[in-house]
C-alpha cells in the first residue's frame, strides 16, 4: 500500500476550510489540555472510529512522531479516503503561527506526571542512599525496573495509579 502523505500546516488549514476533518490521535488528557480548534479527538488506540469522519482526513499528534510511526494504521483506518499526516504535528502548527486552545484548568498529561514523579523518586532514593543508608538505592532500582517493564509491556503502573487521582479523573473538555 502507498505510504500516507504529509501536509504542511498551511496546506492543512486550507484543506480544513475546504471540508477536511482534522483528527487528533493523542490521548484524551493531552487533547483536553491543548488542542487545535475543531480537531476531533480519536486516540490512536481507537483510530478505527475515524470511519465516521467526512471528507479527507488529516491526522495529527504533538510532534508528528506518533502519526509517522502509525502511518499504515492511519491509512488503513481511512478506508481508501484521502488522508494525510500533519507534518510536524501540533508543534509545527503552532510554529506556523496557527492557533491552539489551551485549557489551563486541565491537569498536565499523565505521562508528564509520571516523568515528574519518577524523576523525583530516583533523585530522592539516590540522595538518601548517599546521605543516610546505601539501602535506599533500592528505590531508584525499583523505579528503573518499573520503567523497563512499562517499556516492554506498554503498561505503566504509575500512570495507572496517577490516572485514578481525583484531579486526573475530570471529564476532558471537547
Q: List residues with catalytic annotation.
A: 61
CB 109 within 8 A of CB 29: yes
**Class of residue 90 by CB neighbours under 10 A (exposed 0-12, middle 13-18, buried 19+):** buried
CB 167 within 8 A of CB 107: yes
Residues 6+ apart with CB under 8 A from 35: 24, 41, 90, 100, 101
Amino acid at each position: 500500500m502507498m505510504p500516507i502523505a504529509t501536509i504542511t500546516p498551511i496546506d492543512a488549514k486550507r484543506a480544513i476550510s475546504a471540508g477536511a476533518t482534522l483528527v487528533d490521535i493523542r490521548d484524551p488528557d493531552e487533547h483536553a489540555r491543548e488542542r487545535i480548534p475543531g480537531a476531533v479527538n480519536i486516540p490512536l488506540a481507537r483510530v478505527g472510529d475515524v470511519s465516521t469522519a467526512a471528507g479527507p482526513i488529516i491526522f495529527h499528534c504533538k510532534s508528528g512522531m506518533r502519526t509517522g510511526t502509525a502511518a499504515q494504521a492511519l491509512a488503513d483506518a481511512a478506508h481508501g479516503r484521502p488522508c494525510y499526516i500533519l507534518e510536524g504535528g501540533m508543534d509545527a502548527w503552532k510554529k506556523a503561527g496557527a492557533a491552539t486552545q489551551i485549557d489551563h484548568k486541565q491537569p498536565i498529561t499523565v505521562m508528564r506526571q509520571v516523568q515528574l514523579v519518577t524523576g523525583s523518586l530516583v533523585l530522592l532514593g539516590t540522595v538518601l542512599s548517599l546521605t543516610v543508608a546505601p539501602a535506599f538505592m533500592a528505590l531508584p532500582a525499583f523505579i528503573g525496573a518499573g520503567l523497563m517493564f512499562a517499556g516492554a509491556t506498554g503498561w505503566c503502573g504509575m500512570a495507572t495509579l496517577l490516572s485514578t487521582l481525583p484531579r486526573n479523573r475530570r471529564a476532558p473538555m471537547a
